[in-house]
Amino acid sequence: MKSSEELTIGELAERFGLATHVLRHWESMGLIEPARRAGGQRRYGQDALARVALIVMGKEAGLGLRELSAVLSAPDPMDHRDLLRRHVVELEQRIARARAAKDLIEHALACPHRFADCPHAREQIAARIPPAGAPARA
């Protein structure tokens, strides 16, 4: 690979719309690694483009950097099936909450009643009030 095919940290960050400090942090976590250093400056090979894209995709899927580090550092990402399965369950829960929120907002937009007077809204509100003595939910 010619040095002209290598990217500086600034060029790599710019391609993805990231700040350079983000890439430095990912490097400190072992998620990415410069191909070499030239005069103290990081140089990234073309494979870094795919690696950063993969990290961005993982983050968009809701994986944390530690989870990504575990998955990406394994010889086979499927070595972490339990982690990925747990994450799927978390995503399904978030999707269900988002759908319920969307349904409530759509109902509010279509409902002829004020929100406080709407029987559907009152039912939803009542369902969210914890019983006396119950532990608080976050």
The DSSP letter of residue 107 is: H
pTM: 0.71
- With beta carbons less than 8 A apart as the criterion, state whether 33 and 56 touch: no
What are the residues whose beta carbons fall under 8 Å from the beta carbon of 78, sequence distance 6 or more? Answer: none
Distance CA 110, CA 105 (A): 9
Tens-digit pLDDT string for the chain (138 aa) = 445 689 999 999 999 999 999 999 999 999 999 887 767 788 999 999 999 999 999 999 999 999 999 888 888 877 888 999 999 999 999 999 999 999 989 998 999 998 888 998 888 889 889 998 877 766
